[in-house]
A and B are shown apart, each in its own frame.
Chain A
Amino acid sequence: MSQSLTSYLFISAALFSIGLFGVLTRRNLVAMLISLELILNSVSISFMAFNRFVFADKSLGQVFVIFIIALAAAEVSIALSLILWLHRKKGSIDIEKAKDLRG
């Protein structure tokens, strides 16, 4: 496969779609989190691809990716603590069980 921008972008897009699909359809909250991570990682790939092929300043993409990794980590820690709390209350991490708030 030729190393071109488009192919990397294609991979990124594919991963993004898979992640998005996962968030939308998985019932398990942890699985949703994993899909979310997938989305964020696809973005990292995208940035690195652009960094390699387009950016003049090669540090730009890498800086972005580092930031993304850090933010993702923070996000996941918050998310996991909240999911744990929900599990303590509901006894399950099935998202479809949490539908008390309606209307």
Chain B
Amino acid sequence: MTLLFLPEMMLSFLSVALLCLTLLKNQKSEKFLSNFMLLSGLLLMAGCLLSLNLTGSLFSNTYRVDLFSQGFKTITALAFLLTVLLAAEWNQIPKNRLVEFYLFLTTGALGMMMMASAVDVLSLFVAIELSAYSLYLLAALKVGSRNAESSVKYLIFGATTSGVALWGLSLVVGLTGSTSIAEILASPAALSGQPAFVIGLALFSLSLLFKLSGFPLQFWAPDVYESASTPAVSFIATASKAAAVTVLIRLFFISGMPAAFSMALGVLAFISMTLGNTAALLQTDVKRLLAYSSIAQAGYILVGLLSGSANGMSTAFFYAFAYVLMNSAAFLVLTLVAKSAGHDNPQISHFDGLAERSPFLALMLLLSLLSLAGIPPLIGFTGKWILFSSAMEKGHWFLVLWAVLNSVVSLFYYLTIVKHAYITKPKDTSPLEVPIRLRVAAIGLCAALVLMGIFPGYFISFAEHAVALGLIR
């Protein structure tokens, strides 16, 4: 029984250990800490893989372990590991707060993992809040106080959203009389489409849209991405999106999606994509640019989700995974460029001549950005392709067309960075060294981007299988 809970337990123990570490008088060296975290990350990864095929339910049916949730937990563990690797390299975190940083990272990961497994409204809400608070603090921890403003905005925005969502949740729980998601969605109130119920559910979904950074809840993303420390942004950008997608799939997959919901999601997706892509064209700060791009990517994911079919859900799941890989790769390059520039907000001009300084990094940048843009044969293209195909199957041709046009627009700003990397002459011609750990991770990521793009079959069928198994009844 305990094995079912293995990843969460490991994270809990880790957070307790880190909590104890914060109490220590003499600071442990940064190196020790990063090695410790790396080890824990690897162990976590191992734990997740071990418990991949387990199924069961815990805590009197409020917590469900199946391939779907375990698959997602593996993705989160991967994001965790990569964040830890990046943090070891360059973080703008005050030395005496480094342990807290890792602590909040751990609790955030824990919260997200719990989100994936929660099938009861209460546990879901608690998990969402756990991960949210951890992320607020994660975003706040940075040298200097320039990001006080963005953290406050992040928090207030997120808190208000969860307050509103909670009120909606109260309506839902009240009208159906139970807190189990399966029962809620099968209740007479749901089936008859009682107005209060609909309002409640819609308001609750807002909190998930918040984590996904889709319109209209995307306003925090540019500020947070710009101001938070790079490893924190990497984690926020990748893992919380995947978590949101996971919960959305659990909620909406039960028995298809009615046309009204599809329509609403469609409009939101439309505006997300347009807003994200067009605003990104004007950015010079690369982290802010990536924030807007993540808003657009949220739009694409919504396009997949709104088709409501098994295909749509599984392709959204696959795309979330692909997104973790692509984004982590981009942030890896970003971290190293920031480190060499000594400046946590690299502008596009800081990427000048990257190809001369480090051909390997430039290649990685190229692969990750082209993947984000959706160029074959990379994984981003495959993901987008299957996402849009499943939407087309349900007849949403206009949305797919708009999404494709948006991909074209996005290609511009991605390629601008690539152009600076390859063609513009660098002002600083010192070569960029890639440390060995990061190099290993980088090679793994690049290989995944390319190979999973060309041979996605296994992973797509894994996603389909997982989603089928994740259906809660």
Is there any pair of Cβ atoms, one from A and one from B, under 8 angstroms apart in the complex? yes
B425 to chain A, nearest CB (A): 28
Q: Which one of A19, A56, A75 has the greatest number of beta carbons of chain B within 10 Å?
A: A75
B residues in contact with A56, CB < 8 Å: 177
B residues in contact with A85, CB < 8 Å: 140, 145, 148, 151
Instruction: Using CB atoms, name the residue of chain B closest to A36.
Output: B159
B residues in contact with A29, CB < 8 Å: 152, 156
Q: Check A98 against B122 for contact (C-beta < 8 Å).
A: no
**A21-49 near B? 1/0 per residue, CB < 8 Å:** 00100000100110010011011001101
Instruction: Using CB atoms, name the residue of chain B closest to A86.
Output: B148
Instruction: Using CB atoms, name the residue of chain B closest to A49.
Output: B174
Instruction: Using CB atoms, name the residue of chain B closest to A99.
Output: B149
CB of A10 closer than 8 Å to a CB of B: no
Interchain CA distance A68-B167 in the complex, whole Å: 11
Q: Check B163 against A82 for contact (C-beta < 8 Å).
A: no
Interchain CA distance A79-B126 in the complex, whole Å: 18
Interchain CA distance A74-B122 in the complex, whole Å: 17
A88 to chain B, nearest CB (A): 7
CB of A83 closer than 8 Å to a CB of B: yes
Q: Check B148 against A39 for contact (C-beta < 8 Å).
A: no
B417 to chain A, nearest CB (A): 18
Interchain CA distance A96-B81 in the complex, whole Å: 38
Interchain CA distance A27-B226 in the complex, whole Å: 24
CB of B349 closer than 8 Å to a CB of A: no
- Interface residues of A, CB < 8 Å — how many? 42
Q: Check A39 against B160 for contact (C-beta < 8 Å).
A: yes
Interchain CA distance A46-B163 in the complex, whole Å: 13
Q: Which of B129, B152, B175, B226 contacts A82 (CB 8 A)?
A: B152
CB of B150 closer than 8 Å to a CB of A: yes
CB of B89 closer than 8 Å to a CB of A: no
Interchain CA distance A19-B155 in the complex, whole Å: 16
A residues in contact with B171, CB < 8 Å: 46
Instruction: Using CB atoms, name the residue of chain A closest to B166.
Output: A43
CB of A1 closer than 8 Å to a CB of B: no
Q: Check A98 against B149 for contact (C-beta < 8 Å).
A: yes
Q: Which one of A42, A43, A95, A98 has the greatest number of beta carbons of chain B within 10 Å?
A: A43
A73 to chain B, nearest CB (A): 11
| Chain A 78-103 residues near chain B, CB threshold 8 A | 78-79, 82-83, 85-86, 88-90, 95, 98, 100-101, 103
Q: Check A39 against B167 for contact (C-beta < 8 Å).
A: yes
| Chain B 219-264 residues near chain A, CB threshold 8 A | 222-223, 226-227
B333 to chain A, nearest CB (A): 24
Q: Check B166 against A50 for contact (C-beta < 8 Å).
A: no
Size category, B interface: 35 or more
Interchain CA distance A50-B125 in the complex, whole Å: 18
Q: Check B170 against A43 for contact (C-beta < 8 Å).
A: yes
Q: Check A101 against B149 for contact (C-beta < 8 Å).
A: yes
**Known A-B contacts A23-B156, A40-B166, A82-B140; A60 and B179 likewise in contact (beta carbons under 8 Å):** yes
Interchain CA distance A71-B134 in the complex, whole Å: 13
Q: Check B136 against A78 for contact (C-beta < 8 Å).
A: yes
CB of B137 closer than 8 Å to a CB of A: yes
A residues in contact with B150, CB < 8 Å: 101
Instruction: Using CB atoms, name the residue of chain B closest to A71.
Output: B129
Interchain CA distance A49-B179 in the complex, whole Å: 16
Interchain CA distance A50-B176 in the complex, whole Å: 10
CB of B1 closer than 8 Å to a CB of A: no
Q: Check A43 against B149 for contact (C-beta < 8 Å).
A: no
Interchain CA distance A60-B279 in the complex, whole Å: 46
| Chain B 301-360 residues near chain A, CB threshold 8 A | none
A57 to chain B, nearest CB (A): 9
B residues in contact with A89, CB < 8 Å: 145-146, 148-149
Instruction: Using CB atoms, name the residue of chain B closest to A93.
Output: B152
Q: Check B159 against A101 for contact (C-beta < 8 Å).
A: no
CB of B99 closer than 8 Å to a CB of A: no
Interchain CA distance A88-B144 in the complex, whole Å: 12
| Chain A 47-74 residues near chain B, CB threshold 8 A | 47, 49-50, 54-56, 60, 63-64, 67-68, 71, 74
Instruction: Using CB atoms, name the residue of chain B closest to A23.
Output: B160
Interchain CA distance A101-B219 in the complex, whole Å: 11
Q: Which of A55, A75, A86 contacts B152 (CB 8 A)?
A: A86
Q: Which of B122, B159, B163, B227 contacts A67 (CB 8 A)?
A: B122
Q: Check B149 against A79 for contact (C-beta < 8 Å).
A: no
Instruction: Using CB atoms, name the residue of chain B closest to A101.
Output: B223
Interchain CA distance A26-B152 in the complex, whole Å: 15
Interchain CA distance A12-B150 in the complex, whole Å: 31
B239 to chain A, nearest CB (A): 20
B residues in contact with A68, CB < 8 Å: 166
B residues in contact with A23, CB < 8 Å: 156, 160
Q: Check B126 against A67 for contact (C-beta < 8 Å).
A: yes
Cross-chain pairs A/B with CB under 8 angstroms, 11 sampled: A20-B164, A29-B152, A29-B156, A36-B156, A42-B167, A60-B179, A68-B166, A78-B137, A82-B152, A100-B149, A103-B288
Other A-B contacts than A39-B160, A103-B279, 7 sampled, CB-CB below 8 A, are A23-B156, A47-B174, A50-B174, A56-B177, A74-B129, A89-B146, A90-B148
In the A-B complex, the 3 residue pairs with the closest CB atoms? A50-B174, A39-B163, A46-B170
